Structure 1
Amino acid sequence: MSTKKTPLRKCVVTNEMMPKKELARIVRTPDGEVIYDPTSKKSGRGAYLTASRDVIEQAKKKDILSRHLKTKVSSEVYDMLMAEIDKENK
């Protein structure tokens, strides 16, 4: 019997292929709202980030999510994302 494949996704900042569970998914919903999606099941355009403060700060500095989600991403979204990542890593 074969083992199940681990789904891989690419981080939009580091361009590294990593297991989906190690990444944070940010979604632009059909309404145009940008939210953090811990379940990876919400519909909309998604982007994956490595779940670390350094990568999120780098994405904020270069405004990478705005490019990938094709909408303006406010700094509050990045701050909320950092808070969520800190909460999950405890």
Structure 2
Amino acid sequence: MKKRKIPMRKDLLTNSMQPKKELVRIVIDKEKNVFVDPTGKKPGRGAYVSLDPTKIKSAREKGVLDRSLGTKISAAFYDELYAYVDHQKARKELFGDS
């Protein structure tokens, strides 16, 4: 059987290439709304971040997403992103790679 190609994306926080499954996509649309895209298919400019809550905290302090997406990101969004990433990491540890 032929080996499947694993799609790789660049993690904005660590500046390294990682499998798309291990990252979460942040999207900004034309109306400057910023949201988490768990499907990875919503329209708009996207940036990928790792599923590591400590990296999200450091990104908040450094304003990494602000520069990448070209808009001011609210503290509430960072809180939502942290909660999402923390939940996904715990889920991955509990259930594995499924």
Q: Tell me if TM exceeds 0.5.
A: yes
Task: Name the % identity.
Answer: 46
* Alpha-carbon displacement from aligned partner over 1:39-72 (angstroms, at most 9, x marks no partner): 0010100111111111101110100001111111
Considering only aligned residues, what root-mean-square deviation do their CA atoms show, in Å? 1.1
- Asked if 2 retains the 8 angstrom alpha-carbon contact of 1:9 and 1:20, the reply is yes
In the other structure, the counterpart of 1:64 is 64
| Contact 1:30 1:43 (C-alpha < 8 Å) held by counterparts | no
1:12-50 Cα offsets, whole Å, 9 max, x none, are 111010000101110001221000001001010011111
Q: What TM-score do you get using the length of structure 2 for normalisation?
A: 0.86
Partner of 1:84 in structure 2? 84
The match for 1:73 is 73
Deviates more, 1:11-20 or 1:79-88: 79-88
Structure with the greater alpha carbon radius of gyration: 2
Q: Scaled by the length of structure 1, what TM-score is found?
A: 0.93
Consecutive unaligned residues in structure 1, runs of 5 or more: none
**Cα distance, 1:75 vs. partner?**
1.3
Inter-partner Cα distance in structure 2 for 1:21 and 1:29: 22
The alignment of Structure 1 onto Structure 2 pairs a total of residues equal to 90
